[in-house]
């Protein structure tokens, strides 16, 4: 049967990695955060606690993420082989926590 062995992904399948880019903007190091999911179907509606990103010395890419009082809403789907990343500046890496997402299978 088609789709057997595939499971629906949830917010807990979304992973992220944060790394310094080497740039410094107005005295703040720049970081790149990359969100990924091993899911065969696109994962949408990804919402992440991201307090501190709104204080970035350079604007966050509005085509990729929308900021709402400490919450980042990813504006593009992610799936296996199709991660989403953006940069921000901060004196310390932001403590991201995914709390909402749904697979579109």
Question: Tens digits of per-residue pLDDT, 41-100?
Answer: 899 999 999 999 988 999 999 999 999 889 999 999 998 888 999 999 998 889 999 999
Report d(CA 77, CA 89) in Å as an integer: 23
Looking at the 3D structure of the chain, how many domains does it have?
1
Report d(CA 79, CA 91) in Å as an integer: 30
Report d(CA 56, CA 76) in Å as an integer: 21
Q: Would residue 81 count as lying in a domain?
A: yes
The overall longest dimension of the chain from CA atoms, in Å, is: 57
The whole-number pLDDT of residue 53 equals 92
Q: Would residue 4 count as lying in a domain?
A: no
> Could you tell me the residue range of the domain that residue 38 belongs to?
11-103
Name the band, by pLDDT with cuts 50, 70 and 90, for residue 20.
very high
Q: What is the pTM of this model?
A: 0.85
Instruction: List Cβ neighbours of 79 (8 Å cut-off, separation of 6 or more).
Output: 37, 39, 40, 41, 42, 43
Residue that the structure tokens 């990729």 belong to: 64
Q: Would residue 90 count as lying in a domain?
A: yes
Q: Would residue 1 count as lying in a domain?
A: no
CATH number for the domain that contains residue 28: 2.60.40
Query: In this structure, are residues 37 and 45 in contact, taking their beta carbons and an 8 Å threshold?
Result: no
Q: Would residue 28 count as lying in a domain?
A: yes
Q: Would residue 5 count as lying in a domain?
A: no
Q: Would residue 6 count as lying in a domain?
A: no
């Amino acid at each position: 049967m088609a789709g057997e062995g595939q499971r629906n992904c949830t917010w807990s399948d979304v992973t992220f990695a944060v790394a310094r880019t080497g740039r410094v903007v107005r005295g703040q190091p720049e970081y790149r955060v990359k969100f990924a999911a091993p899911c065969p179907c696109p994962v949408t509606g990804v919402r992440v606690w991201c307090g501190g990103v709104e204080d970035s010395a350079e604007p966050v890419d509005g085509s990729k993420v929308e900021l709402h009082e400490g919450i980042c809403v990813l504006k593009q789907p992610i799936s296996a082989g199709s991660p989403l990343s953006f940069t921000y500046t901060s004196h310390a890496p932001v403590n991201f926590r995914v709390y909402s997402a749904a697979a579109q299978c």
